[in-house]
Amino acid sequence: MISIAKQDSELLDLLTAMHPDSSKTTLRSWIQQKRVLVDGEVVIIAKQKVLQGQKVEVSKKTLLIEDDVEILFEDRFIAVINKPAGLLSVATAFDTYHTAHNMLKKRNPGKVIYPVHRLDRETSGVMVFAYSSAARDHFKKLFHAHDIERKYVAIVENIVKEPEGTWKSYLVEDPTYHVASRKTPEGEAKLAITHYKVLSQKKQTTLIELTLETGRKNQIRVHCQENGHPIIGDKKYEALTDPIQRLGLHALHLGFIHPFTKKMMRFTKTLPLSFQNFLK
């Protein structure tokens, strides 16, 4: 069933109007089962604000992972996608099927598709894949030379006092896949540099824009945590709050030179609905 919100209201109230014969316990269970979408995005917070004109839909089954990914751009050389939170970028030992890489392969049977970078499973936003080995090699060179534009937005705990700045440390991964920070280049620790800028503040949270100079695993999450501002929802790196019931990190912007046309290409994906509602 699909309904258009006639006025601003909480999601649970809107569902009650849509399904007057269903109990609130049942409606809450639909939300928890990830069956409810607002403007096409799964919402799992009963009190989330739905704005007038937004489309609310209740699916007949749990929407754990979409069967496809949103394509922002595609030609015979590359694909740029919007990866949803909760979806792996590429296969791991624990999940070889539910990945953005695999979904692109399903869209392009018989084509070899090359991942050229990754986003953490919990992170949403813009990613690029290569459709040829030549395109893959092109991106390898760009990433190695730091000639890729990468901007993220994060909602972090506490008030970031300085309006902008740079975080720099050396990161190393331990056997439990936890990334730790060092002040000096000890052992296999690699240099990581993150630039940040404060965009807005609300109560005890701050919305910041982050620009990567390097691209280490969990770099943004570790830098935020070690500077006293864990990303909301990031239990792995000591977050105490989870107000939107997902990691508050989104890959906002990706810019690069196309491997064959040599034109500069830039892609931006606006904040997910859960971010927008929290920041109001």
Q: How far is CA 33 from CA 12, 144, 198, 228, in A?
A: 14, 42, 35, 33
Burial of residue 108 (CB within 10 Å: 0-12, 13-18, 19+) is middle
Does residue 126 share a domain with residue 244? Answer: yes
Among the three residues 11, 32, 58, which one is the final residue of a domain in this structure?
Answer: 58
Residue 61 has a pLDDT of 59
Does residue 155 share a domain with residue 102? Answer: yes
Residues marked active site are found at 120
How many other CB atoms are there within 10 angstroms of residue 162's CB atom?
9
Q: Is the pLDDT assigned to residue 65 strictly greater than 50?
A: no
Does residue 97 share a domain with residue 207? Answer: yes
Picking from 126, 153, 127, 150, the residue whose alpha carbon sits closest to that of residue 279 is 153
211: domain range? 70-279
Does residue 76 share a domain with residue 54? Answer: no
Under the banding of pLDDT at 50, 70 and 90, the label for residue 64 is: very low
Instruction: Tell me the average pLDDT of the chain.
Output: 91
Contacts of 183 (CB under 8 A, 6+ apart): 169, 170
pLDDT tens, 135-186? 999 999 999 999 999 999 999 999 999 999 999 999 999 888 889 999 888 8
The average pLDDT across 90-109 equals: 85
pTM of the predicted structure, to 2 decimals: 0.78
Under the banding of pLDDT at 50, 70 and 90, the label for residue 3 is: confident
Does residue 144 share a domain with residue 271? Answer: yes
Measured CA angle at 252 (ends 278, 169), to 5 deg = 100
Residue 130 has a pLDDT of 98
Residues comprising the chain, all counted = 280
